[in-house]
Chains A and B, each alone.
Chain A
């Protein structure tokens, strides 16, 4: 049987949803694979929604908004762009970035809407089903996705993205403007850190483990693991479990 990708589309009410309607009025035919969730603005789409979609076996996600500059709410699609960029970084760590696409469709572009859906469906068809559907990989992929979700829910990371425009154009509280390259680097680090921290938490969910043990399991240098443990302790997520022969083991103390 041919693989029929399950595709989810977030469409903003004012342009892309109207464009999709126009494709209908013009009877332009396109693949049946996409299911649409209408939101008022592409800026409403929380990256967490997309992690959630992948965790639930969806093969590809389209986020469509008004063309840049045309957002009904002035700047919503610019925010969407920043969020999707960050999401792309997170997803590329687990090889899912290819399964999301952000694009712009105006209310006059019925054709374009149909083209994007057709192309994207073919693209996902080529990529094949989400690896989560593979029983052997399922556990690992779910772990990865939940680490992703953890990172996307993390308030520090979210704060960074929410303030990106402010920090890179208006400056921080001291009036210092952060150059965009520098910002990207900060963001990259934050993403990687949150992702790893979640993996650590996963490993010490049920039993205490020492730093070298964790390091081995998640294949990361021990001193780095230690740094993360310190951070997680400060956040009240991890505590010392036992001390065996002067080597402490750590355990997760909060459901995340």
Chain B
């Protein structure tokens, strides 16, 4: 076997990027894992439980995070982004921009004393802005690397030249306001892109009232609402009055399979709405759920049985039909107006809480990244993959995996990631 001298760069530290990195590292190949956020973990860390086994997301993710952090073959670059790429397969030159953390990585022990004292409250993106975090923060408690970060946009020292409280309370003297952004250069043999997805913002769909009606939330928000480690500690209440909701409705395909917004199918909403309804039911057996759908797409292993279980054991009714709009009554209960397919009549139904299964959309900066990397995107700005060899991008030496190339669920992303790792390894072995 020839000796391997080149590194592989993996862009994006979600489940796909993590899996690809681990496979390569185990394979004896050195990996540079580039993550934009302060912690790796991606969307999976935000999820409560995951279908089709409904096991707890962080339980199965956390050991992988730790492994990634500890593996001698993986160099983790957090708060980092790719700025420039030149060269070709076997010899890429990459410029990485690394934001200052203002916390010394080797000193912070994640004790959280700084968080307690920091006076600046900021909307928490990880918790879908459902609660506040501080200007010094960690994305989520199990996050890796398990150290703090100061958010320069909000920290009072940077904005008003005041405060510096964290510096005083940190016993490890880990706070370092003198840190500066850095530019790093890497030389890698091949690249895996695993930058994942964003969520469609349903505010633009006026008729659904999201943003105006407090009791209309998105599925990712709901994921945080029911999570044991989320803002409600797992005790589901609805936003308007903190009452426990009994009647839930999910609307599938919000912003997808819709020519005006995104014509494509988001692949996992049918499954995750069922899952969220199941978890809600497990919290409170009085909950009844209606799921409004176009087609129930559940072709994966054990998926069809999963839907059946939802129907038979978790008080879920599946209603085929397109929702026309959502109204609201005085108690702020959302009312769904939809066309009943049996009678073609327009019907109304009142719920306590409505959850919108908003589609996965490409990352905001997908096009920019595609330009930097010199790879093509498809009509919707997902990275363009070969029709039969889905990990292969339009450029030699660059491979794709996970939801950055097409909406997909975790099992598919993990398969995709391992596959991309094989291709990236092959590329550096060849040349």
Residues of chain A whose beta carbon lies under 8 Å from any beta carbon of chain B: 14-15, 18, 22, 25-27, 66-67, 69-70, 72, 106-112
Cβ-neighbour of A110 out of B48, B55, B60, B228 (below 8 A): B228
Whether B233 lies near A111 (C-beta < 8 A) is yes
Contacts of A108 in B (CB 8 A): 48, 56-59, 227-229
B157 to A: closest C-beta gap in Å: 26
Q: Considering the chains assembled together, what is the distance between the CA atoms of A25 and B229 in angstroms?
A: 11
Q: Could you give, for residues 316-346 of chain B, a 1 whenever the CB lies within 8 Å of some chain A CB and a 0 otherwise?
A: 0000000000000000000000000000000
A31 to B: closest C-beta gap in Å: 19
Q: Considering the chains assembled together, what is the distance between the CA atoms of A59 and B112 in angstroms?
A: 35
Nearest B residue to A66, CB-CB: B59
Q: Considering the chains assembled together, what is the distance between the CA atoms of A106 and B55 in angstroms?
A: 9
Contacts of B63 in A (CB 8 A): 14, 72
Q: Considering the chains assembled together, what is the distance between the CA atoms of A22 and B54 in angstroms?
A: 20
Q: Considering the chains assembled together, what is the distance between the CA atoms of A67 and B54 in angstroms?
A: 10
Q: Considering the chains assembled together, what is the distance between the CA atoms of A15 and B227 in angstroms?
A: 16
Which 7 pairs across A and B sit closest by C-beta, in order of nearness?
A: A106-B56, A107-B59, A70-B55, A108-B58, A109-B228, A108-B228, A25-B141
Whether B141 lies near A109 (C-beta < 8 A) is no
Nearest B residue to A28, CB-CB: B233
* From A26, A108, A110, residue with most partner B Cβ within 10 Å: A108
Report 28 cross-chain contacts, Cβ distance below 8 Å, ordered by A residue: A14-B59, A15-B56, A15-B59, A18-B59, A22-B141, A22-B229, A25-B110, A26-B229, A27-B112, A67-B55, A69-B54, A70-B53, A70-B56, A70-B60, A106-B55, A106-B56, A106-B58, A107-B62, A108-B48, A108-B59, A108-B227, A108-B228, A108-B229, A109-B228, A109-B234, A111-B234, A112-B228, A112-B234
Contacts of B141 in A (CB 8 A): 22, 25-26
* Besides A14-B59, A106-B59, A108-B58, 15 new A-B residue pairs in contact (Cβ under 8 A), listed by A number: A14-B63, A15-B59, A18-B62, A27-B112, A67-B55, A69-B53, A69-B54, A69-B55, A70-B53, A72-B63, A106-B56, A107-B59, A109-B56, A111-B233, A112-B234
Whether A111 lies near B59 (C-beta < 8 A) is no
Q: Considering the chains assembled together, what is the distance between the CA atoms of A67 and B229 in angstroms?
A: 16
Nearest A residue to B58, CB-CB: A108
A38 to B: closest C-beta gap in Å: 15
Cβ-neighbour of A70 out of B59, B142, B229 (below 8 A): B59
B279 to A: closest C-beta gap in Å: 12
Q: Considering the chains assembled together, what is the distance between the CA atoms of A26 and B57 in angstroms?
A: 18
Contacts of B53 in A (CB 8 A): 69-70
The interface on chain B, measured as residues whose beta carbon lies within 8 A of the other chain's beta carbons, has a size of 20
Q: Considering the chains assembled together, what is the distance between the CA atoms of A69 and B55 in angstroms?
A: 7
Contacts of A110 in B (CB 8 A): 228-229
Cβ-neighbour of B142 out of A14, A22, A111 (below 8 A): A22
Whether B233 lies near A107 (C-beta < 8 A) is no
Nearest B residue to A111, CB-CB: B233
Nearest A residue to B61, CB-CB: A107
Contacts of A72 in B (CB 8 A): 63
Cβ-neighbour of A107 out of B48, B142, B227 (below 8 A): B142
The answer to whether A25 and B56 touch (CB under 8 A), given A107-B62, A110-B228, is: no
Contacts of B58 in A (CB 8 A): 106-108
Q: Considering the chains assembled together, what is the distance between the CA atoms of A26 and B60 in angstroms?
A: 20
A13 to B: closest C-beta gap in Å: 10
Nearest B residue to A112, CB-CB: B228
Contacts of B233 in A (CB 8 A): 111
A104 to B: closest C-beta gap in Å: 10
Nearest A residue to B110, CB-CB: A25
A189 to B: closest C-beta gap in Å: 35
Whether A25 lies near B112 (C-beta < 8 A) is yes
Whether B56 lies near A107 (C-beta < 8 A) is yes
Contacts of A70 in B (CB 8 A): 53, 55-56, 59-60
